[in-house]
Structure 1
């Protein structure tokens, strides 16, 4: 397996966050997050995906449960804008320094505002991308919010 040290895990370590690692065989295609949840034996409601958006032309990041879809109007409002669209994958890779399928909200090259779906707080531990395809990190929701100085909003319903 590839190294489990990524900009995301370095950021969490530097912030003094306790986290666990889950590695799995990455498969590209649709429902990547749901595949990851199944591969590591985790309940998909605790596994969150990272989506890069453009809100009124500015970058933003939302983190939602893997089985759900983001409501772009709600995401735009949560990020202080009027309209949002998914960021072009190549642009997301340049901005974050991660490959699509391995984008983590932690350790991105350029810091952008981050909003978690409000369901994050319903769990004692959540699982997010660890900054590499096939690597997930598990941590307390409050640690994720603190490290990213993130906000919470209803992004999916």
Structure 2
């Protein structure tokens, strides 16, 4: 059971767990999940971590539908930053406690601004 599932259960948030077999040759995890599960890609979201220049919050979390790209300029503006970049995959995994392709916005190891 993942930390996100434990958190949702504890908060009594209703949810369903949908499972599928991941193709290791597929890099578009969210689109693969949506297509394999027969879901609309506009209703399946990916959790992305971006690197900031703030010492107290070196990362920030962004959610976007899997059929969209994250606009780093827009996120930077929202966070009062001049420029952002995607967080390194290893750092994203270490700080969130989840593997790339399965990073949840819920119950990450560290708390960052949305």
Per the normalisation by structure 1, the TM-score is 0.66
| Aligned position for 1:53 | 50
Provide the aligned C-alpha RMSD in A: 1.2
What is the alpha-carbon distance in structure 1 between the residues aligned to residue 38 and residue 22 of structure 2?
14
What is the alpha-carbon distance in structure 2 between the residues aligned to residue 82 and residue 111 of structure 1?
22
1:62-100 C-alpha deviation (Å, 9 max, x unpaired):
000101111101011223322110000000111001111
- Judge conservation of contact 1:56–1:82 (CA < 8 Å) in 2: no
Compute the displacement of 1:103 (Å). Answer: 0.5
Matched ranges for 1:124-135 at <5 A: none
| Aligned position for 1:43 | 40
1:75-129 C-alpha deviation (Å, 9 max, x unpaired):
1122332211000000011100111111101110001112xxxxxxxxxxxxxxx
Q: How many residues align?
A: 110
Larger radius of gyration: 2
Secondary structure of residue in 2 paired with 1:8: helix
| Aligned position for 1:112 | 112
For structure 1, the residue ranges without an aligned partner over 5 or more in a row are: 115-157
Compute the displacement of 1:51 (Å). Answer: 0.4
Greater RCO, 1 or 2 (C-alpha within 8 Å, sep 6+): 1
Per the normalisation by structure 2, the TM-score is 0.89
Relative to total residues, which structure has the larger strand share, 1 or 2?
A: 1
